Chains A and B, each alone.
Chain A
Amino acid sequence: MKYFRTHVLVGVNEASKQAGVEKFVAALRKELEKSGLQEEVNVLETGPLGFFGKGICLTVYPDNVNYENIKAEDIPELVAEHFLKGRPVHRLMFDAGSRFTPKFNYESRIVLRNSGIIDPESIDEYLGTGGYEAWEKALLQMKPADIVEEVKQSGLRGRGGAGFPTGLKWSFTAPIKCDQKYVVVNADEGEPGTFKDRLIMEGDPNQLLEGIMICARAVGATKAFIYIRGEYKLSIERLRKAIAQCYEYGLLGKNIFGSKFDLDLEIRIGAGAYVCGEETALIESLEGNRGNPRWKPPFPGVKGLWGCPTVVNNVETLANVPFIIKHGAGEYKKFGTPDCSGTKVYTILGDVAYPGLCEADMGTTLRTIINDYAGGMKKGFRFKAALIGGAAGVILSDRLLDVKMDLNSLNQYSAVLGSGAILVMDEHASIVDMLWSILRFFRHESCGKCSPCRNGTQQLYDIICKIRKGEGTEQDLDLMLLIAETMQQTSFCALGQSPVMPVRSALENFRDEFVASTKK
């Protein structure tokens, strides 16, 4: 292996592709060659970096310098100054003008351990980090029941929003004796403000695949599907490449590692429907139907895809599994809290200094996440509220800045961890407008099957429009709560049960603002 003194990681994602990252990389390599640096400086196209800069972004190791919005015309200066003379170009730096270095949480990474570090399109790089060792172990050294037990012991809980214990879920399906079982990966990430699964798939698709394989082995499924939203073009492309490489390397297919275990993996594409993130709606969609949810029971684990037992797991959930199998439940439990182990991937957006992606221990407080991972509030702005968990989440005020971010602690405040999306708002943000935007979202994304949700989302939207225009009354606030609560209690699926969370939290934490917006 060649030794490079410097690694330049180029984030290849939707935004940078738009900025012409492919041409940029070619130009950068050419310039390095011109300066005779091709043996010293390695250019690596990778997934998402730990920060969200504009345009083309780079991270330079080991210098730990981040650049954003780099144009082709900046290349000569960059090569001459930084790579030849070792002087970072301040005017191009992402965190220029600040002494804060975002804590890209390298110490607490399970899911994102490779993201932004390896080339996600190369299975060899993944193998180089010890990848697929867990798969080999699960297949050759462990019985399916042992895998289920290990995951149970780890305390891993679903990362899609509901937080159901993963091992327990698997244990419903594993003992069923039948000809066909399925694993379905829920990659239909649609919760507003959430794109952690996209970054996991773009940054390290093989880790997800390894998790799927282990899950399939544990429950005895010989066929797995990744249901991914149609808009995630890059994720689809990278997963396709990774799957093809796995087949080539004999990690998928017939008689894997001579174990007599067969597994096929296919990608299925969604067509634009938030509700398909609900597991039974997702199954309907996979079968080629409208994404209307099904009644539970029977649960998919018993009767799912085409009537067969089906384990549906979220991307992030499965991406945790290789670590658990490789290092054991005990090692995994060192992360997080006793009740809620592991880490959580967050996307922090809004009025913080450094919006970004981070992976923090379960139980980290909101304040810590904002301050340590996102550099605190944007300069000169004061924290007012945070929307946690997307539209199906809650709007918290500063009263709850020190609440621990894990499934149990948040429950005490009728809040949810949900998808891990954090949207921070400063004092200029209008909570009325925010709630309006959320309710508009639900109105659009309700599947329309059940009347509580179909009529309720429209009622809520009409009322918030009235309030926003200053034509509402205080009674309208109570009416919103009544409708949202009725929806929660009587809706068919989780979508209709959700609007109560933003509505109630907004009205509880910011009632004055709503009252001020009503008719005088």
Chain B
Amino acid sequence: MYQEIFSKYAPTPDNLIFILHDIQDNDPRHYISEEAVQAVSEYLKIPSNHIYGVITFYSMYSTQPRGKYVIRLCESPHCYIRGSENILRKMKNTLGVGIGETTKDGLFTLELCACLGVCGNAPVMMINDDVYGDLTEDKVDEIFARLREAK
């Protein structure tokens, strides 16, 4: 299952970050499982405790299964003064989940993240690979509705 991904990378330790991205991006639940870590450990000949340490260090990786859409709302100062707290409250209410949680339908996971470097359009979030800026409470509804339809 992971062989297809491994075939793209030489078995050198510096490819670990790439491989983990690739595995997570290709998992419908956007996470890196224990089995995946074991497979990577065998392929790269890196102990699994090291890989676990790496995964948990970086905020883009998750060891927990996540929703189809991973929401990462920026909580840095610039988005904060542009009202990211209100957006967060709105999203918590709309989705009925707390930070780090996934909606019951498995569609959305709500996360916070540090500056995404799109501060000109604060408040900002990323959903999977896409950036959404100039967020308002209405816009959040609109985006969620669109994504719900798209499923």
The reply to whether the CB of A340 lies closer than 8 angstroms to some CB of chain B is: no
Assess whether B80 is interfacial by the CB under 8 Å rule: yes
Chain A positions 480-518 with a Cβ under 8 Å from a chain B Cβ: none
Q: Chain A 278-305 against B: per-residue CB contact (8 Å), 1 yes, 0 no?
A: 0000000111111100000000000000
Please judge, given known A-B contacts A195-B117, A233-B129, A272-B113, whether A441 and B77 are in contact too, CB under 8 Å: yes
Q: Does A273 lie at the interface of the complex (its beta carbon under 8 Å from any beta carbon of B)?
A: yes
Give the interface size class of chain B: 35 or more
Q: Mark B7-41, 1 if CB is under 8 A from A, else 0.
A: 00000111111101100000000000000000000
Whether the pair B17, A192 counts as a contact (CB closer than 8 A) is no
> Of residues 49 to 66 in B, which have CB atoms within 8 Å of A's CB atoms?
50, 53-54, 57-61
Residues of B with C-beta under 8 A to A185: none
| B48 beta carbon closer than 8 Å to chain A | no
| Distance (whole angstroms) from the CB of B62 to the closest CB of chain A | 11
Pair A290/B14 contact, Cβ less than 8 Å: no
Complex alpha-carbon distance, A222 and B78, angstroms? 39
Asked whether, in the complex, the Cβ of A273 is within 8 Å of the Cβ of B77, the reply is no
What residues of A have a CB within 8 angstroms of the CB of B16 in the complex? Answer: 288
B132 within 8 A of A: yes
CB-CB under 8 A from A230, the residues of chain B are 21, 60
A444: chain B residues within 8 A (beta carbon): 75, 114
Please, how many residues of chain A have a CB less than 8 angstroms from a CB on the other chain?
A: 56
In angstroms, how far is the closest chain B Cβ from the Cβ of A21? 13
A272→B131 contact, CB < 8 A: no
Pairwise interchain contact A15-B121, C-beta atoms closer than 8 A: yes
Q: How far is the CB of A470 from chain B (nearest CB, A)?
A: 18
**Is there an interface contact between A231 and B116, defined as CB atoms closer than 8 Å?**
yes
Could you give, for residues 99-114 of chain B, a 1 whenever the CB lies within 8 Å of some chain A CB and a 0 otherwise?
0000000000000011
Q: Are A286 and B14 in contact (CB-based, < 8 A)?
A: yes
Q: How far is the CB of B88 from chain A (nearest CB, A)?
A: 13
Contact A191 B131, CB 8 Å, known A288-B54, A433-B80? no
A355 to B129, CA, bound (A): 25
**Is A437 among interface residues, defined by CB-CB distance under 8 A?**
yes
Q: Are A272 and B58 in contact (CB under 8 A)?
A: yes
A14, A194, A268, A445: the one within 8 Å of B17 (CB): A268
**Alpha-carbon gap, A17 to B118, bound state (A):** 13
Asked whether A285 lies within 8 Å of B17 as measured between CB atoms, the reply is: yes
Q: Known interface pairs A18-B130, A195-B119, A445-B114. Does A290 touch B15 (Cβ–Cβ under 8 Å)? A: no
Q: Is the CB of B114 within 8 A of A195?
A: no
A438 partner, pick from B12, B17, B59, B77, beta carbons under 8 A? B77
Given the interface contacts A18-B131, A52-B121, does A194 sit within 8 Å of B60 by beta carbon?
A: no
Contact A18 B58 (CB under 8 A): no
Cross-chain contact B133 with A15 (CB below 8 angstroms): yes
Task: State whether the Cβ of B5 lies closer than 8 Å to any Cβ in chain A.
Answer: no
- Near B by CB (< 8 A), chain A positions 81-123 give none
List B residues at the A interface (Cβ < 8 Å): 12-18, 20-21, 46, 50, 53-54, 57-61, 75-78, 80-81, 113-122, 126, 129-134
Subset of 21 A-B contacts with CB under 8 Å = A14-B121, A15-B121, A15-B131, A15-B133, A17-B131, A18-B130, A18-B132, A54-B134, A195-B117, A230-B60, A232-B117, A269-B18, A270-B17, A273-B59, A291-B58, A390-B115, A391-B77, A423-B81, A437-B77, A441-B77, A445-B114
